[in-house]
Amino acid sequence: MTGERVLVLNGPNLDLLGRREPGVYGSASLADVRAALEALARELGCSVELRQTNSEGQLVDWVHEAWDAADGIVVNPGALAHYSYALRDAIAAVPRPTVEVHISNVHARERFRHHSTVSPVAVGVIVGMGTYGYELALRGLVERLRAGAPER
Cite the active site residues.
25, 102
**Both ends of the chain: CA-CA distance in Å?**
19
SS3 label, residue 59:
helix
Question: 91 to each of 26, 54, 87, 110, how far by Cα in Å?
Answer: 28, 18, 6, 25
144, 98 contact by CB (below 8 A):
no
